[in-house]
Amino acid sequence: MATNYRELTINGLWKNNPALVQLLGLCPLLAVTASVVNALSLGIASMLVLIGSNFAVSLFRNFIPSAVRLPIYVMIIAALVTSIELAMQALTYELYLILGIFIPLIVTNCIIMGRAEAYAAKNTVAASLYDGFIMGLGFSIVLVLLGAIREILGAGTLFADMQLLFGPIAQSWKIVIFSDYVGFLFAILPPGAFVGLGLLIAVKNWLDQSIDKRKRAKSDQPQKLDIQPLKNQT
């Protein structure tokens, strides 16, 4: 079976985006997106686990007895998450303290189990690696977008504390958007996350619809003479 990387890309980033369409992994998504640095770190950690678990599952897909495949997937995912948690403690300890419980909670992120079961268990190693990467990227992009919106509204800054992730060079990355900003508490608290995510999903759906409409309008043109324009619904 030839792998269609173009389709995988479109699926992971847009059509089947884990956060905006599948709505998976919302617990960490909503909890850690108060700033870009938190969102980006959790996104990277999730992506690494996703790539690793897709790799391992597709590598062993012919050896895993199908009756017990789910416990085995869970073991693989849990081992990867534990390793990444330890690595984060060793390399970026401050960030580990901030993200806290949400790193071990990656185990329960349904995207990872979902991709293992739905994709990696049936496809080649290379395709599964790419699928893990692109799904992780789709998830991370939404995390970072939401993090950026909430950080701008809530704290009036963008890219604050990036040195936690990238070392001292990132100290100067912080952009103060509104100086002397008192902060918009709502954006930092959980309701802000829900509303922010809802708006992102709405924008995505709106874009989808307007693209769809334009496409339909184009394909309808030559037929206009034959068919009554009855299609009001989209």
Partner 1 sequence: MNMQQSLKINALGIGCFATITAALIAVTFVLTKAPIEENVRRQKTAKLYEIIPTHKFDNDLFTDTVELEGTEFGYSQNISAHVATVKGRVTTIIFPVRSSQGYSGDISLLVGINADTSIAGVRVITHTETPGLGDKLELKKSPWLHSFTGLKKVAEQPWAVKKDGGQFDQFTGATITPRAVVNAVGKSLDYFHKHRQRLLDPSAISGKNSSGETNNGN
**Residues found near partner 1 in the complex (CB under 8 A):** 34, 60, 63-65, 67-68, 71-72, 75-76, 78-80, 82-83, 86-87, 89-91, 93-94, 97, 154, 183, 185, 188-189
Report in angstroms how near the CB of residue 198 gets to partner 1 at its nearest. Answer: 21
Q: By C-beta, is 69 or 204 nearer to partner 1?
A: 69
What is the C-alpha to C-alpha distance for residues 129 and 112, in angstroms, rounded to an integer? 12
Characterize 203-231 residue by residue with b for buried, 16 or more Cβ atoms within 10 angstroms of its Cβ, and e for exposed: ebeeeeeeeeeeeeeeeeeeeeeeeeeee
Q: By C-beta, is 17 or 38 nearer to partner 1?
A: 38
Report in angstroms how near the CB of residue 40 gets to partner 1 at its nearest. Answer: 19
Report in angstroms how near the CB of residue 118 gets to partner 1 at its nearest. Answer: 20
Report in angstroms how near the CB of residue 38 gets to partner 1 at its nearest. Answer: 12
Q: By C-beta, is 72 or 201 nearer to partner 1?
A: 72
- Compute the C-alpha angle 59/48/63, nearest 5°: 15
Q: By C-beta, is 60 or 166 nearer to partner 1?
A: 60
Q: By C-beta, is 67 or 227 nearer to partner 1?
A: 67
Q: By C-beta, is 185 or 203 nearer to partner 1?
A: 185
CA distances 220 to 74, 205, 210, 231, 234, Å, are 49, 22, 15, 10, 13
What is the C-alpha to C-alpha distance for residues 80 and 87, in angstroms, rounded to an integer? 10
Of 14, 32, 199, 150, residue with least CA distance to 100: 32
Report in angstroms how near the CB of residue 19 gets to partner 1 at its nearest. Answer: 23
Report in angstroms how near the CB of residue 214 gets to partner 1 at its nearest. Answer: 42
